[in-house]
């Protein structure tokens, strides 16, 4: 795969109501919607319980909390949780990201200006440069860095003591972290996609903060289309609010939510126009597959990478599409979702792979 994260996230966020990356509007309102304490943070019960213990124990010892690694898809609450960690520890927080640290010197400047106990949130930690990563090993373990001054044979390393701090690293790809880095985190949490009931709670909470009236069925309707992701739930809520205000009396009911999301082309399972175009081509043009990725991409008029990185992950997660060595294949659930009837079982065809 030669698809850069930045490009993938740009494509994801640019024109998709159901993209998981933050767009400009999200960034503006997210600060207001972020839970401020572990008690307010919805779902992720196990992570919350474990983190609560880690933080309380550190507070009781009067020590700085262990370094924390958060992994999981975009929009599940990693940034939010890092801010909560700082708030629960009564510590300030500094926020930066792997791509912003291209030289070891960039990292040294940040580390040497940290206060004792400060939380350093390093988003996309897997995208830091190698020399910075190596500097981080020593900083995490010994609270010390060697700053290299000069070049070539005359270069000298000046040791610099650091105050104890808590590193909170976030990554969408824990597997890409080198083991020496992963091993230096005292606590690692994997964030899962949220269930419908949890998303309903996120939606009710956000609606209250935004002063938007919504009933239980309205929240459930939005939750079901939010792809397990609080950021998407909050974004859909804002779009449905617009519709409710312009076309109705402002109250979000199931009917209003359903009609509004139809206007925005988000179906009852959270698929958008691109997702459905991919499925539809797979079913109608290729009989459910198997078909190669490039062919499928040409059929929907998109780049291969857009289909692979933007549409497919959710379709696979939903059990609507499978990536097989022979190509992309639709599952029986895909036929059902688009209201189509699969062709008769053909040797080597979709029926052969998934049964009748
Ligand atoms: N557990 C939660 N309870 C309530 N709201 C949440 C929760 N998790 C996330 N949110 C909301 O979803 C939005 C996105 O969360 P956040 O920015 O923390 O995600 P992220 O995982 O850091 O995403 P990215 O990887 O793109 O930076 C925030 O506005 C936040 O309010």
Percent of the chain with pLDDT over 70: 92
Q: Are 156 and 149 in contact (CB under 8 A)?
A: yes
34 domain-assigned: no
Dihedral-angle region of residue 11 (phi above 0 means left; psi in -120 to 50 means alpha; beta otherwise): alpha
Check whether residue 92 and residue 171 sit in a common domain: yes
- C-beta separation of 68 from 185 below 8 A: yes
* Residue 78 counted as an annotated binding residue: yes
CB atoms within 10 A of CB 161: 9
Q: What pLDDT was estimated at residue 155?
A: 85
Whether 79 and 201 share a structural domain? no
Report which protein residue has its CA nearest ligand 1's atom 30: 34
Instruction: Give the tens place of pLDDT for each residue, 71-104.
Output: 999 999 999 999 999 999 999 999 999 999 988 8
Number of structural domains in the chain: 3
pTM over 0.95: no
Regarding whether 201 and 226 lie in a shared domain, the answer is: yes
Residues 153 and 183 in one domain: yes
| Residue 143 labelled as part of a binding site | yes
Does ligand 1 have an atom closer than 6 angstroms to the CB of 202?
A: yes
**78 part of the active site:** yes
Confidence band for 2, pLDDT divided at 50, 70 and 90: very low
Residue 19, domain member (yes or no)? no
Specify if 254 maps to a domain: yes
One domain for residues 116 and 182:
yes
Indicate whether 140 belongs to any domain: yes
State the CATH number of the domain containing residue 327: 1.10.10.10
Q: Is the same domain home to 201 and 156?
A: no
Q: What is the DSSP letter of 176?
A: G
The tens digit of pLDDT for each residue in 217-267 reads: 999 999 999 999 999 999 999 999 999 999 999 999 999 999 999 999 999
Determine the Cα–Cα distance for residues 114 and 66; give it in Å rounded to an integer: 16
Residues 6+ apart with CB under 8 A from 285: 299
CATH code (residue 239): 1.10.8.60
Domain at 75, CATH number: 3.40.50.300
Residue 211 belongs to domain spanning: 196-263
In degrees rounded to 5, what are phi and psi of residue 308? Answer: -70, -40
**Active-site residue identified among 23, 123, 272, 275:** 123
Does residue 350 belong to any structural domain of this protein?
Answer: no
């Amino acid at each position: 795969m030669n698809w850069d994260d930045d490009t993938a996230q740009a494509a994801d966020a640019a024109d998709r109501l159901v993209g998981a990356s933050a767009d400009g509007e999200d960034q503006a309102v997210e600060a207001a919607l972020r839970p401020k304490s572990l008690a307010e943070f919805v779902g992720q019960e196990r992570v919350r319980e474990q983190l609560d213990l880690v933080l309380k124990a550190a507070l009781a010892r009067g020590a700085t909390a262990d370094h924390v690694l958060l992994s999981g898809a975009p929009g599940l609450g990693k940034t939010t949780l890092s801010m909560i960690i700082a708030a629960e520890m009564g510590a300030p927080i500094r926020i930066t990201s792997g791509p912003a640290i291209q030289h070891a010197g960039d990292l040294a400047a940040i580390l040497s200006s940290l206060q004792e106990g400060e939380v350093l949130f390093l988003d996309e930690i897997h995208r830091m440069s190698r020399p910075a990563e190596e500097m981080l090993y020593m900083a995490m373990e010994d609270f010390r860095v060697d700053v290299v001054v000069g070049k070539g044979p005359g270069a000298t390393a000046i040791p610099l003591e650091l105050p104890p701090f808590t590193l909170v690293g976030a990554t969408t790809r824990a597997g890409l972290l080198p083991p020496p880095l992963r091993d230096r985190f005292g606590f690692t949490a994997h964030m899962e996609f949220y269930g419908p009931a949890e998303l309903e709670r996120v939606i009710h909470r956000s609606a209250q903060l935004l002063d938007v009236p919504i009933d239980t069925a309205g929240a459930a309707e939005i939750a079901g289309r939010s792809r397990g992701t609080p950021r998407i739930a909050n974004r859909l809520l804002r779009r449905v609010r617009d519709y409710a205000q312009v076309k109705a009396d402002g109250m979000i009911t199931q009917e209003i939510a359903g009609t509004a999301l139809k206007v925005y082309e988000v179906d009852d399972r959270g698929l958008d126009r691109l997702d459905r175009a991919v499925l539809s081509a797979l079913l109608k043009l290729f009989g459910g597959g198997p078909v190669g990725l490039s062919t499928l991409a040409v059929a929907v008029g998109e780049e291969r990478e857009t289909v692979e990185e933007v549409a497919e992950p959710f379709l696979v997660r939903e059990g609507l599409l499978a990536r097989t060595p022979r190509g992309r294949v639709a599952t029986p659930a895909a036929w059902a979702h688009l209201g189509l009837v699969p062709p008769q079982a053909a040797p080597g065809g979709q029926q052969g792979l998934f049964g009748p």
